[in-house]
Amino acid sequence: MCFSGDAFWNCFYCAEGNKLKDCCDCDECDRCELCYSCLNCRDCFNATYSQDCRRTSESLFCYDCIGCNNCFGCAGIRQKNYCLFNNQLSPEDYKKGVMEWKLKGFDAIWEEFEKIKVKIPHQHAMMYRVDDSTGDHLENAQRAYFCFSSGNLQDCGCVYRVYPVYGDKNADTWDAYGAVDLEQCYEVIQVGKAYNCNFCYYCEVTRDCDYCFQVFNSKNCFGCVGLNHGEYMILNQKYEPEEWARKRAEIIEQMKKDGQWGSWPLPEGQRFDTD
């Protein structure tokens, strides 16, 4: 029961994440292990009921904590250990305090946790190592416009949940969702390791492909569906490279005349409003 994720191991009920191991009920988390009920967390280990935390381990009920270990009910702290509701304690007092609060039950802990959260300043957007960019929940981004929950972006715009998994960055890509390792791509959904691909859905390891669905390990494909290791194909038919280029140009010219080129195809009888 996991959805829209990449590189999951032993996970349950997780969505919109990358590189998760032994996690449950996590959403938009990346590179986490042994986490439960976390949201928008990065590089966390054994964290529970946490949100917007980074490099935090052995912690419960934390919000916007970075580089912390053994924290309980904390918010907005940095590089801290053994903190209970933002109070610094010794390891022994911390363990004793945690046990006492656990005996009070979930509702009491959550109520106190919410009191701590409203006392700290909240960032207008969660951004880390970001330059000349707009959006929210970004990391390692340069010149990224209106991007959200993404990382390692360069000259990208209007993307959501776009991260590098096997490469080092996503570059020159616009209008993408749920994708990894992209370069010079436009209007793609659930696409991975792609270069110069446009209007593709659920494709992986593709290059120079347009209007494709479920195409894998392929290049120079146009309007293809359900291919693996395809090359120089149009509507799933094989062509010689020169013939393929000629027919592709003819189709694109006709699509431009019909007002269909440069946008997702619509069901018969429907058209985009160009006014």
How confident is the model over 207-235, as a mean pLDDT?
Answer: 96
pLDDT, position 265: 66
- Residue 143's closest CA among 109, 110, 171? 171
In the 8-state DSSP scheme, what is residue 221? E
Which pLDDT band, with edges at 50, 70 and 90, does 167 fall under?
low
Q: What is the pLDDT of residues 102-154, one digit of tens each?
A: 999 999 999 999 999 999 988 888 888 899 999 999 989 999 999 999 989 99
pLDDT, position 267: 55
Q: How many CB atoms lie within 10 A of CB 132?
A: 9
Distance CA 93, CA 182 (A): 49
Domain ranges of the chain: 6-119, 126-183, 197-275
How confident is the model over 240-248, as a mean pLDDT?
Answer: 95
Q: What CA dihedral angle connects 259, 263, 269 and 273, to 10 degrees?
A: -70
Helix (H) or strand (E) holding 188: strand 186-195
pLDDT, position 4: 80
Q: What are phi and psi of 169, to 5 degrees?
A: -165, 165
Which pLDDT band, with edges at 50, 70 and 90, does 178 fall under?
confident
Q: What is the pLDDT of residues 59-100, one digit of tens each?
A: 999 999 999 999 999 999 999 999 999 999 999 999 999 999
